[in-house]
Structure 1
Amino acid sequence: MTLTNIDHEKQIYCFKVLYAFLVVLLLRMNNPCIGCSEREMQALLAFKQGLVDNDNSLLSWGREVQNKDCCQWDGVYCSNHTGHVVKLDLGDQSLQGTISPKLVELQDLEYLNLSFNNFRRSQIPDFIGSFSNLRYLNLSNAKFGGEIPYQLENLTRLEYLDLSSDEYGWFDDSIYAKNLNLLPNLSGLKHLDLSSTNLSVVVGWLEAVNMLPKLRSLILWWCDLPPPIISSVSVMNSSKSLVHVDLSYNNLNSSIFQLLSGTHTNLVELDLSRNNFTGVVGWLEAINMFPKLSNLILSGCNLPPPIISSVSVMNSSKSLVHVDLSFNNLNSSIFQLLSGTHTNLVHLDLSGTISPVLLVGWKQLICFLNYQT
């Protein structure tokens, strides 16, 4: 055999090896998962065993050969690179029961959604705080109860936290918190929703929220929040990233305006409805300090008629599109400001506040009024 033939055979061999490597690589790329580990599969099966699955949402979770790769199970997602379970998306599956502590074996978990299920008022498992890679946690409307576990402070990579409920009012076993000391550790949080959580004794809730520099969405409606105590510290540390704020149905007073208007200049949506702002004369001046505010809801707040001044007109935001001032104690002075400055207004609700007779000539706006005597 000549040297030329040997070199040719080497080239063919190298080509075959390269071809085999490319085939395997392509198969891996097309495969949604390398394959889950035995440890993680057993953890998920233990989790399933603790649940009541009347709708057979977890029917694909099984020990059979064809169902042994948990990366192929409904609601389970694995990393293409490591094969570890990184996402568990089981929202709105009508699941009941309890959560097995075996679930803690999923140490690469980044996304956990158990919303709109029924966990029978059991406490949020404290071992959830062990998921150090978690970025998304949604336990909303899952009928958890008891105190929010402080171990959640260990979720330092968390960006999204929703423990809210649609329920109005609280039960003896509803979710509650004595403090929000866990929040400052969650410095990467961008979305926080604790609606219908009992926070009535959390004195420093505003200071805790202000320690979240990346927070964009804050939703705390129907939390029985006490009026915040404004201090120079809370104002100094206040996050300027907030875009959406909903603090409706609480016990707030004028102090909330003092903080929000001076620091949260990037606000686009603000809902403070069903709080008590009786006697807050400068509420309109405070609102006009939000240059980007588009949606404003102050329904049923006992707002007094505004005092229009040159200062409030000068600083008035022109960004407002949707305004709801229904069921307050306003008079025609509100038009003096709105008609001259808020030229982009599309929706104005003054129902239960001002007689429609006063709206003569107000053709620049599309007003949705349902006046009630």
Structure 2
Amino acid sequence: MGSLVSLSPLLLCVLFLLSSLPSPILSASVRCNPEDYKTLMRIKKSLNNPYHLASWIPNTDCCNWYCVECDDNTNRITQFTIFQSNLSGQIPAAVGDLPYLDTVVFRKLPNLYGSIPSSITKLQNLKMLRLSWNNLSGPIPGFLGQLKNLEYLDLAFNRFSGQIPASLADLSKLAALHLDRNRLTGAIPDSFGRFKVDTQKSLYSGFYLYLSHNQLSGVIPKSLGEVNLITVDVSRNKLVGDASVLFNPNGTTQTIDLSRNQFDFDLSGVKFPKTLIDLELSHNIIRGSIPEEITGLELLQGLNVSYNRLCGQIPVGGNMNRFGYDSFFHNRCLCGQPLPNCK
């Protein structure tokens, strides 16, 4: 009776089925941390077990799952990336229970809705937070300013509304801020002048600021002129006043886009940074003339000053011959090639 052969066929079948079932606990040979494993399974459930996470099979090594990465030394989950999927739901609060995360990406998920969970503030190792091209809404939460190690914040292409929280300037290591293509209103916070990139410790050589395609109003804060901007794009808003503070002749700015606002200042006395590659000023109320110094910008590849109130001779020389009629037309009395000759 003790031999396997003497067992009944029914009992043999049951024993076989039991032996083929996965172990209720993770094998000691897998890398995946048990706490991270439990958290990821909760995340999958809260997202209604989407096909995009089909590789998240129970009782298997989560370090081998799609959308996550483990650190080779700690075996903890450090990156969580869901990109271009039809999964639906909200950002799971359980994401905040993966304490070693340095990267969180939910991107190009049109059925991802709701707000940013406050639990994300527990991720004090987070360096990149990218929640773009989704359907997120509501105000941008001020508690994001608690992510002290954040270097890159991208909330673009959503439906965020309300004012930009001044507390984002508490992110002392932040080097890139994407808030473009939302429904934001109010002024650009004066606190943004506190953004300072430590180029000795950061991968970034300066600050990248994208605020375009919103409904922002008011003036450019003077404090923003103290920031080492590489790119500043505030196009397609309702901003007014003098934006010349953004032109730092001793800075390293490469791109300035002020187009489609209501900026009103004299361009004549503006001094450009030698690093300027792209300058877009169209559709404003900018006065004066184009400074002759623009011909000395050896890196300049893009220029558009159309639809303003500029006057005088278009400077000749340098890279100016590469810009055609469309770069200058619809100004009050601008003249010279490629526009009609000055009288």
Which interval holds the TM-score relative to the shorter structure? Answer: 0.7 to 0.9
Q: CA deviation at 1:298?
A: 1.5
Matches of 1:180 and 1:284, distance apart in 2: 34
1:58 maps to 2:50 = no
1:321 maps to 2:316 = no
Alpha-carbon displacement from aligned partner over 1:25-47 (angstroms, at most 9, x marks no partner): xxxxxxxx961112111211111
Maintained 8 Å contact 2:89/2:113:
no
**TM-score normalised to structure 2 length:** 0.78
Matches of 1:90 and 1:314, distance apart in 2: 47
Alpha-carbon displacement from aligned partner over 1:136-162 (angstroms, at most 9, x marks no partner): 000011211112222211111111000
Maintained 8 Å contact 1:238/1:263:
no
Maintained 8 Å contact 2:109/2:134:
yes
Query: Pick from 241, 252, 257: which aligns with 1:254?
Result: 241
- Shift in CA distance, 264/123, structure 1 to aligned 2, threshold 3 Å: farther
Alpha-carbon displacement from aligned partner over 1:201-240 (angstroms, at most 9, x marks no partner): 3x4x242221110152100002222222655xx26x8212
Letter in 1 for 2:260: R
- Shift in CA distance, 361/352, structure 1 to aligned 2, threshold 3 Å: closer
Secondary structure of the residue aligned to 2:124 is coil
Matches of 1:273 and 1:360, distance apart in 2: 21
Matches of 2:120 and 2:321, distance apart in 1: 45
Q: CA deviation at 1:326?
A: 3.1
1:353 maps to 2:318 = no
Secondary structure of the residue aligned to 1:41 is helix
1:293 maps to 2:276 = yes
Query: Pick from 181, 204, 211: which aligns with 1:220?
Result: 211
Query: 1:7 is matched with which residue?
Result: none
Query: Pick from 161, 168, 191: which aligns with 1:176?
Result: 161
Query: 1:26 is matched with which residue?
Result: none
Matches of 2:321 and 2:121, distance apart in 1: 45
Letter in 2 for 1:350: S
Q: CA deviation at 1:248?
A: 0.1
Maintained 8 Å contact 1:53/1:94:
no
Identity %: 25
Query: 1:367 is matched with which residue?
Result: none
Letter in 2 for 1:224: Q
In the alignment of these two chains, the number of paired residues is 301
Query: 1:161 is matched with which residue?
Result: 153
Secondary structure of the residue aligned to 1:49 is helix
**TM-score normalised to structure 1 length:** 0.72
Maintained 8 Å contact 1:227/1:255:
no
Maintained 8 Å contact 1:216/1:244:
yes
Query: Pick from 294, 298, 319: which aligns with 1:343?
Result: 319
- Shift in CA distance, 216/74, structure 1 to aligned 2, threshold 3 Å: same
Letter in 1 for 2:297: K
Secondary structure of the residue aligned to 1:253 is strand
Letter in 1 for 2:34: E
Q: CA deviation at 1:317?
A: 4.2
Letter in 1 for 2:235: S
Letter in 2 for 1:43: T
Secondary structure of the residue aligned to 2:246 is helix
- Shift in CA distance, 58/323, structure 1 to aligned 2, threshold 3 Å: same
Matches of 1:314 and 1:250, distance apart in 2: 28
- Shift in CA distance, 255/294, structure 1 to aligned 2, threshold 3 Å: same
Which ranges of structure 2 fall in alignment gaps of 5 or more residues?
A: 1-28, 198-205
Report which of the two has the higher share of helix: 1
- Shift in CA distance, 72/314, structure 1 to aligned 2, threshold 3 Å: closer
Identify the range of structure 1 (181-190 vs 93-102) with the bigger mean alpha-carbon deviation.
93-102
Q: CA deviation at 1:277?
A: 3.0
Query: 1:144 is matched with which residue?
Result: 136
Please tell me the root mean square deviation across aligned C-alpha atoms, in Å.
3.0
Query: 2:8 is matched with which residue?
Result: none
Letter in 1 for 2:305: L
Maintained 8 Å contact 2:91/2:112:
no
Query: Pick from 75, 97, 107: which aligns with 1:83?
Result: 75
Matches of 1:61 and 1:347, distance apart in 2: 54
Alpha-carbon displacement from aligned partner over 1:1-21 (angstroms, at most 9, x marks no partner): xxxxxxxxxxxxxxxxxxxxx
Alpha-carbon displacement from aligned partner over 1:247-287 (angstroms, at most 9, x marks no partner): 00112223222x21247721111111101135x3x22432x
Secondary structure of the residue aligned to 1:82 is coil
